[in-house]
Structure 1
Amino acid sequence: MQLNTMAALNSRQLNKRSLWAIIAALLILVCINYKIYQQEQLLAHGEIILFELAPVDPRSLMQGDYMALNYDIARVVSGSVDELSNTPDNHDGFFIVTLDQNRVAQFDSIYNGAALTPAQRRIQYRVRDGRVKLASNAFFFQEGRAEEFEHARYGEFRVNQEGKLLLSNMIDKDFKRI
């Protein structure tokens, strides 16, 4: 009789653990799907903004089915962040840009909380290991298209009201999507 009672208790504990594992798995799936939904909304409704590409190490420009990216504006932001002596090595922040007639972002300043003009946009950046990082430092493309992307001059991003960026396309010198 004692064995039956212990087996029943172990079975209940196992069922309880299984239930918690299923609930945890469902929560993880909900979180992942919500993040995907947010990214899809940003792609569908985010404002288009272009960042001029800066040279990268030619050996890492094209590596298989992706290209390493660097942005001219990141260098400018890095210089401005370095001027702020009270910023930690690894931190997140925002900078302000104005868009030209082709929607290319021109650096204005590091965001200080002041109200923006209608022409200005707030953009999120991250500093990691002393380097300013924007949304992505790589662009993945379909196999066999490397030569097409060698002509990229701008990264096309989608930006939302919170300043979050998502790389969506590469743009050539004539402002055409590749």
Structure 2
Amino acid sequence: MQLNTMAALNSRQLSKRSLWAIIAAVLILAGINYKIYQQEHLLANGEIILFELAPVDPRSLMQGDYMALNYDIARTVSRSVDQLSNTSNNHDGFFIVTLDQNRIAQFDSLYNGVALTPAQRLIQYRVRDGRVKLASNAFFFQEGRAEEFEHARYGEFRVNQAGQLLLSNMINKDFKRI
């Protein structure tokens, strides 16, 4: 009799654990799918802005089927962040840009909560290990297309009103997608 009671308790505990594991898996999958939906929405509806590429170490420019990226504007943001004495080594923030006639982002200032003009855009940045990071520092492409991407001059981003960025394409000097 005691053995049957123990088996029944273990069976109930196991089924409760299984139920919680299933609930956890569903929540994780829902979160992942929501994140994918957000990225797809940004890609489809985000405003296009361009960041001029800055030189990178030529040994790491093309590595396999991706290219390492650095942005000219990130250096400017980094200098402004360095001037603030109250910022930690790792933090997130926003900066303000104005777009020129070709949609190239020009740095205005770090964001301090002041209302933006219609010509200005809010851009999110992250500082990690003392370096300013934008949405992506690498661009992946199809195998065999490395020579085409050697001519990239700009990174094309999609940005939403919250300043979130998503790298969508590489652009050449003639403002054509590669």
SS in 2 for 1:125: strand
Counterpart-to-counterpart distance in 1, 2:155 and 2:141: 13
Counterpart-to-counterpart distance in 2, 1:12 and 1:130: 52
Aligned length: 178
Aligned amino acid, residue 162 of structure 1? A
Which residue number corresponds to residue 173 of structure 1?
173
Which residue number corresponds to residue 59 of structure 1?
59
Which residue number corresponds to residue 33 of structure 1?
33
Counterpart-to-counterpart distance in 1, 2:67 and 2:84: 32
Counterpart-to-counterpart distance in 2, 1:53 and 1:80: 19
Counterpart-to-counterpart distance in 1, 2:66 and 2:51: 18
SS in 2 for 1:108: strand
Query: TM-score, structure 2 length as denominator?
Result: 0.99
Render the CA deviation track for 1:15-57: whole Å, top value 9, x for unaligned.
0000000000000000000000000000000000000000000
Runs of 4+ in 1 over 3 A off after TM superposition: none
Gaps of 5+ in 2: none
Query: TM-score, structure 1 length as denominator?
Result: 0.99
Pairing 1:79-90 to 2, within 5 Å after superposition: 79-90=79-90
SS in 2 for 1:151: coil
Q: Percent identity?
A: 90
SS in 2 for 1:28: helix
Which residue number corresponds to residue 7 of structure 2?
7
Gaps of 5+ in 1: none
Aligned amino acid, residue 64 of structure 2? G
* Residues 81-90 or 144-153, more deviating: 81-90
Pairing 1:1-178 to 2, within 5 Å after superposition: 1-178=1-178
Question: By how many angstroms is 1:85 displaced?
Answer: 1.0
